[in-house]
Amino acid sequence: MRKRLAVSSLLLVVAAGVWAGIAGLSGRPEAVDSFVQIDRPPRIEPDYADAVIPPNIAPLNFLVREAGSAYSVRIAGPQGDPVEVFSRKPAIRIRPRPWHALLEQNRGQELQIDVFVKAEDGRWNRFQAITNRVANEDIDRFLVYRKMHPTHLRVKGRIDIEVRDLTSFRKSVLLSSDSPENGCINCHAFAGNRSDKMLLGVRSPTYGVGTLLVDGPAVHQIDAKFGYTSWHPSGQVAVYAVNNLPMFYHSSRNEVRDTVDLDSFLACYLSDSKTIAVEPNLARKEHLENWPAWSGDGKHLYFCSAPMLWPRDTPSPPPQYDQVRYSLMRISYDLASDRWGELETVLSSKDTGKSIAMPRCSPDGRWLSFCMCDYGYFPAWQAGSDLCLMDLAARDTTGKPPYRRLEINSDVSESWQTWSSNSRWIVFSSKRLHGVFTRLFISYVDADGTVHKPIVLPQKDPAFYESCLLTFNTPELVTDRPAATGETLARVFRSPKRLSVEMPLTMATPKAAGPTSESAWQAQRE
Amino acid sequence: MTETTDQTRKTAPRRKVGLPLSAVFFAAFYLVVALEIEPHLLYHGAGLIDNFPVFYRGWDFFAGFTTYPGGILEYLSAFLSQLFYHSWAGAAVITTQAWLICLCTGCAIGAVGLPRWRGLRFVGPLLLLALYSQYTFHLPVTMGALAALAALCLYLKLAPKGQTGAGVWFLAFSVGLYALAGGPYLLFALLCGLVEILFRGRPRLGAIQLALGTAVPFGLGVVAFGQRPHDAYFQLLPLSWKIASYASSELMRNAVWALLLSLPSILLVGGIGSASLNWRRRHSKKTKPSGRQGWLGKTTTKLLGDPARSRFGPNLGTAALIVATAATLLFYRDPKVKTLFETDYFSCHGQWSKVIEIGRRNPYHYLVCHAVNRALYREGRLGDEMFAFPQRPEALRLTRQEALWQKSDMCVDMGLVNEAENALMICIETHGERPLLLHRLARVNEIKGNISTARVLLGALAKVPFWSGAARAELARLDADPELSQDAAIQHWRSIMLRQDFVRDADTLTLLLTENPANRMAYEYGMAGLLLTKSLDQFARNIETFRPAVVAQDPRHHLEALLLHRTLKRQPIDVPGRTIPREAKIRLHEFFQALQQHGKDKAEAAEALRGPFGDTYYYYYFLGG
């Protein structure tokens, strides 16, 4: 018996040794003593070249799309120790610690990536170096976004609002559609770039419709359906859209899905008094109002507005659905007295011939980014949607709206942009990589408003996006990890206890206002 | 010497002969599942099963299952269900599961001193047979039941005799089983509690086990894993909202409950029976001989035979099992449902002759009729033979009720690519990322030229067992020819694709034909639709407008309709270039004569003329539809 045990143990040790030897040999770095220079940069995916990258970003793992039996990558900057990665496979995974050290020491400087590929004949090829610049300014540490299947009409698949730590690959779920039992989770809105104040709309076939309000450590549920929402920087007022947004389909356009804002207005939630108010200028009967966005100083509310081209109760889609073009408007606001000023047209659709949507102001008040598309309110489903940037400071001095289409646009849809708290980074959704499966991109905006080549949100597995059937949208950058997540939020939503808010009786467009539990099965907009 | 031998023969237990009963039963079980039920049909799903799990190879997919109790078992179930791809492998999974349930049930029944009830160990396998005979998919829940039964057996066999030791073992098992299986842990705790209270005379330990049974999900699920209480307790049980949210999980839910509660019921009845027997013994003046059976024992022995002789042969146990199995198959076998699965399976795999054969054998069904028409079209026989099969207008293009799973292929073939994409995306929402749907959606995107989207879909498909080879080959093809310009099928689909964009209902078939008169399917379906709705005026107009120049001879039903139209409108039967064959005229004449014989009694006429004229358009026009 003992003999048998001894033999078994010996066999185990030998097997472990052989396995360790094989594993060790296969992964042992090979020295690249000599190489042949290739006069072109290597093909890598994702495309992490010629970009400006945040100094606190997670390692930019990538795949080398060059045939070979071994890969050696050297990442170096003017300062600090280079980072070297050796791999038998084309997947290059960079160790986080040396990567962060290298980036930290090279803020504002260039980073060079040398890729060596061992060819079949055993010799090494060195490609032209890939260069990226490390920005001086950090990006906010946390990115909160929504992850879901591309939806057609109804939602049953899982939706996650996910929190990603941009300095690493750690992710956590803020709220999943499982929590409200196959519910729909709508756009999340933070006050400024802080996570201590957040609104999140939830619709559930079981628990009805409500909006979660995170206010510091407390979580409440408001008994109302909030659409696209923007918090005043003070966190005391939130303006949200109340819409009727049916979905319909195109018979042959490449993007099948489309939607129209049949009827809408903007309402204000006053945090202190827990009331809802409607400013008549934000709820004009013959107009559609959508996409509220506060300026960085909170003195103006920007939003999109278009004349309503159809009578009420027109079946969807109205014949004029593709003629609705939204202008960019703004209205002044005085927080102390809770008074609204006069309406101003910032950029008219008559001048642009296009429709404006999803405006967002940089927190420093200098820039206003927005989407411009052929018609309608929802650029994510329009291939022609481009990101634009307006210099608000220049507008205030010249009175003209100096805006431009950004050079980083692709020939497919760009949408859902958000700003970092230091106004140096934008994150946006784009279909440029994988069509219907929208991905998130990070771009640096320098002091003069130049927006640099974006990088796709890095993932631990560099091949992650190649088989990911989910779409990523509604990115929001925040400086802290949201305190209330998961079951804490879900429990509040499921509880019957709700903050009853007073809705004014004189709603301008009441048809758009009614949240029903049936609408829990309405499609989510990506 | 001879005497001694005879005596030995008399006293020694009778030698067991023949194959063990369970071996014969499970061999038959395997054959029934593999050959009759055919698990590959469940894998296919046919749009009728919406709870079949998705499975991808790789760590990331597995990691998602490690974040909640029961995830590991769910992962294992998802993996095992992939083996349903091949009927023989799926049958092996189901049979092994049934055998293990039988083994564990038998073990538990034996361990608590009810050996004469061991015949009831076949209840679980028979319930499984019933579930699969109805083409329902409950593998994760039944795996949960199996895990609980297996844990019970381990507890009964391995736990120390002392109460404290047994309690500690129970706790250790509880943590392990709950982490592994989630909600079905409740079944384990219930069984342990019943055993301790009813059979081992340790009511305090049993009560503690039952109390722990309710506490462990809270402690581990709610507190440690941060789950909501409902999920912590009911994960992988039929009470779970996740399971209930699938329409197909509603089917045969009672049988699932029966499977879960069969052993607790046996223990409860057996335990109470034993307790009452003991009570009667204690209160009876006469001391009964030890080992005497109670009425329950006697009855079951009579019914199911002595477990010591549980061999396949001419005994009551074998007979009872055969009868129970036959009754299960008789009550639960559902050829109609199987027909639906088969029709869709053959349709998706282009086995058109089999689809037509099914149509010939079966009465009208919306989905079968649709598939048969598509098969006839693919075989070039739609215009000649469609009225040889039961027809209704709505089945041709699935216009009566939503059948998106079946619709997408037809839409692609006809040129309605966006409609196909829409149907497939909604199917993915409702049925999950089923490989067939991913494959179809990749093809739709290839047709539309959305190669980057197609690549992502194929990338996902490459991680699905049994599909990776095809997906990789497709990806390699895209590498070599990114525009797929050499792919004849893709080029054909692109050539017939609808170009005009609109967002409201429109006459898509006419638009398709106007854009591309060579769109044969649009033509044939358009004409078939007019025949089915008996719109002969429009039919006559369209045949003039859209009839492909290359058609040498109009199909039989088209000629019949044309003849009928001209006859009813009193138009000249033969016009230059469009003469009607003499046989058709004779047949119509004969039909009218036969019809007149039955006067106004339509039902009688329909019955009488079905034989000679049932496959003609005349019959459909006057007596069918």
Q: Which of A251, A464, A467 has the CB atom closest to B500's CB atom?
A: A251
Kindly list the residues from chain B whose CB atom is less than 8 angstroms away from the CB atom of residue A461.
60
Residues of A contacting chain B (CB within 8 angstroms)? 149-157, 178-179, 181-182, 206, 248-254, 256, 258, 317, 321, 433-437, 461, 463-469, 486-487, 490-491, 494
- Whether the upstream peptide bond of residue A482 has omega within 30° of 0, thus cis, is no
Report the SS3 class of residue A477.
strand
Tally Cβ neighbours within 10 Å of residue A78.
10
pLDDT at B567 over 80: yes
- List the structure tokens of B260: 């879960």
- Chain B nearest-CA distance from A135, in A, is 31
pLDDT interval class at A262 (50, 70, 90): very high
Cβ contact (<8 Å) for B426 and A153?
A: yes
Kindly list the residues from chain B whose CB atom is less than 8 angstroms away from the CB atom of residue A184.
none
**Strand ranges in B328-369 using DSSP code E only, listed in sequence order:** none
Structure confidence by residue, pLDDT tens digits, A282-317:
999 999 999 999 999 999 999 999 999 999 888 889
Cβ contact (<8 Å) for A154 and B497?
A: no
- Chain A nearest-CA distance from B425, in A, is 6
Tally Cβ neighbours within 10 Å of residue A333.
21
Q: In Å, how far are A297, A347, A406 from A402, measured between CA atoms? A: 20, 9, 13
pLDDT at A32 over 90: no
- List the structure tokens of A421: 């708290």
Residue of B nearest to A154 (CA): B426
Structure confidence by residue, pLDDT tens digits, A331-340:
999 999 999 9
Cβ contact (<8 Å) for B438 and A469?
A: yes
**Looking at per-residue confidence, does A526 or B184 come out higher?**
B184
Averaged over A33-38, what is the pLDDT?
91
Cβ contact (<8 Å) for A461 and B60?
A: yes
d(CA B318, CA B191): 28
Looking at residue B319, what is its pLDDT?
84
Q: Note whether A409 and A440 are within 8 A (CB).
A: no
pLDDT interval class at B1 (50, 70, 90): very low
Cβ contact (<8 Å) for A249 and B422?
A: yes
Looking at residue B601, what is its pLDDT?
83
Averaged over A353-363, what is the pLDDT?
97
d(CA A197, CA A214): 5
Instruction: Quote the DSSP letter at residue B611.
Output: H
- Per-state percent for chain A, helix, strand, coil, to nearest 5: 15, 40, 45
- List the structure tokens of A54: 């945040």
Domain boundaries, chain B: 18-279+295-332, 561-625
Cβ contact (<8 Å) for A149 and B429?
A: yes
Kindly list the residues from chain A whose CB atom is less than 8 angstroms away from the CB atom of residue B421.
256
Looking at residue A20, what is its pLDDT?
56
- Chain A nearest-CA distance from B95, in A, is 32
Q: Note whether A434 and B452 are within 8 A (CB).
A: yes
Cβ contact (<8 Å) for B456 and A248?
A: no
- List the structure tokens of A261: 């804002």
- List the structure tokens of B334: 């559902």
Cβ contact (<8 Å) for A258 and B503?
A: yes
pLDDT at A42 over 70: yes
Looking at residue B519, what is its pLDDT?
93
pLDDT at B501 over 60: yes
Kindly list the residues from chain A whose CB atom is less than 8 angstroms away from the CB atom of residue B506.
251
d(CA A99, CA A84): 10
Structure confidence by residue, pLDDT tens digits, B431-465:
999 999 999 999 999 999 999 999 999 999 999 99
Looking at residue B423, what is its pLDDT?
93
With a pLDDT cut of 70, the percent of chain B lying above it is: 92
The helix or strand, by DSSP H or E, that contains position A162, with its residue range, turns out to be strand A160-165
Structure confidence by residue, pLDDT tens digits, B139-169:
999 999 999 999 999 999 999 989 999 999 9
Cβ contact (<8 Å) for B228 and A490?
A: yes
Q: How far apart are the first and last CA of chain B?
A: 88
Looking at residue B313, what is its pLDDT?
65
Strands, sheet with A403-405, edge to edge from the N-terminal-most edge strand: A355-361, A367-373, A386-391, A403-405
Domains and CATH numbers, chain A: 35-134 (2.60.40.10), 142-521 (2.120.10.30)
**For tokens 């994988």, what's the residue?**
A434
Contacts 24+ apart (CB under 8 A), B226-235: B226/A486, B226/A487, B227/A487, B227/B68, B227/B69, B228/A179, B228/A487, B228/A490, B228/A491, B228/A494, B231/A178, B231/B68, B232/B69, B232/B182, B233/B183, B233/B186, B234/B183, B235/B68, B235/B69, B235/B70, B235/B182, B235/B183
Looking at residue A67, what is its pLDDT?
95
Structure confidence by residue, pLDDT tens digits, A124-139:
999 999 999 999 999 9
pLDDT at A150 over 50: yes
**For tokens 């098992």, what's the residue?**
B173
- Chain A nearest-CA distance from B292, in A, is 45
pLDDT interval class at A394 (50, 70, 90): confident
- Chain A nearest-CA distance from B410, in A, is 15
CA trace torsion A488, A489, A490, A494 (10° rounding)? 100
Kindly list the residues from chain B whose CB atom is less than 8 angstroms away from the CB atom of residue A157.
428-429, 432
**Strand ranges in A407-512 using DSSP code E only, listed in sequence order:** 414-419, 425-430, 439-444, 455-456, 471-478
Contacts of B385 (CB under 8 A, 6+ apart): B376, B556, B615
Averaged over A49-76, what is the pLDDT?
97
Q: Which of B226, B450, B504 has the CB atom closest to A435's CB atom?
A: B450
d(CA A354, CA A358): 13
d(CA A495, CA A180): 11
pLDDT interval class at B189 (50, 70, 90): very high
Structure confidence by residue, pLDDT tens digits, B510-564:
999 999 999 999 999 999 999 999 999 999 999 988 887 767 788 999 999 999 9
Question: To the nearest whole number, what is the mean pLDDT of chain B?
Answer: 90
The helix or strand, by DSSP H or E, that contains position A368, with its residue range, turns out to be strand A367-373
Residue of A nearest to B430 (CA): A156
Kindly list the residues from chain A whose CB atom is less than 8 angstroms away from the CB atom of residue B448.
254
pLDDT interval class at B41 (50, 70, 90): very high
Q: Which of A151, A250, A437 has the CB atom closest to B453's CB atom?
A: A437
pLDDT at A425 over 90: yes
ipTM, interface predicted TM-score of the complex = 0.92
A interface mutation test: which of B50, B439, B445, B453 has the most A CBs within 10 A? B453
Q: Note whether A267 and A242 are within 8 A (CB).
A: yes
- Chain A nearest-CA distance from B174, in A, is 24
Residue of B nearest to A206 (CA): B241
Contacts 24+ apart (CB under 8 A), A440-443: A440/A143, A440/A145, A440/A472, A440/A473, A440/A475, A442/A53, A442/A54, A442/A57, A442/A139, A443/A52, A443/A408
Contacts of B158 (CB under 8 A, 6+ apart): B169
Instruction: Return the amino acid letter for B138.
Output: H
d(CA A49, CA B593): 83
Q: In Å, how far are B510, B521, B541 from B518, measured between CA atoms? A: 12, 9, 18
Looking at residue B320, what is its pLDDT?
85
pLDDT at B91 over 80: yes
* Beta carbon pairs, A and B, within 8 Å: 111
- Chain A nearest-CA distance from B310, in A, is 37
pTM of the shown model? 0.91
- List the structure tokens of A342: 């006069």
Cβ contact (<8 Å) for B429 and A181?
A: no
Structure confidence by residue, pLDDT tens digits, B274-289:
888 877 877 775 544 4
What phi and psi values does residue A35 have, to the nearest 5 degrees? Answer: -155, 165
Looking at residue A16, what is its pLDDT?
65
Looking at residue B11, what is its pLDDT?
46
- List the structure tokens of B408: 């997408």
* β-bridge mates for residue A131, sequence order: A112
- Chain A nearest-CA distance from B456, in A, is 5
Q: Which residues of A488-524 are buried (b: 16+ CB within 10 A; e: fewer)?
A: ebbebbbeeebeebebeeebbbeebbebeeebbbbbb
Looking at residue A509, what is its pLDDT?
47
Angle at A513 between CA A509 and CA A516, to 5 degrees: 150
Instruction: Quote the DSSP letter at residue B20.
Output: B
Kindly list the residues from chain A whose CB atom is less than 8 angstroms away from the CB atom of residue B497.
252
Looking at residue B294, what is its pLDDT?
53
Q: Length of chain B in residues, anyone?
A: 625
Strands, sheet with A471-478, edge to edge from the N-terminal-most edge strand: A171-176, A160-165, A142-148, A471-478
Averaged over A118-124, what is the pLDDT?
92
Kindly list the residues from chain A whose CB atom is less than 8 angstroms away from the CB atom of residue B432.
157
pLDDT at A220 over 80: yes
d(CA B260, CA B143): 10
- Chain A nearest-CA distance from B429, in A, is 5
Kindly list the residues from chain B whose CB atom is less than 8 angstroms away from the CB atom of residue A250.
418, 501-503
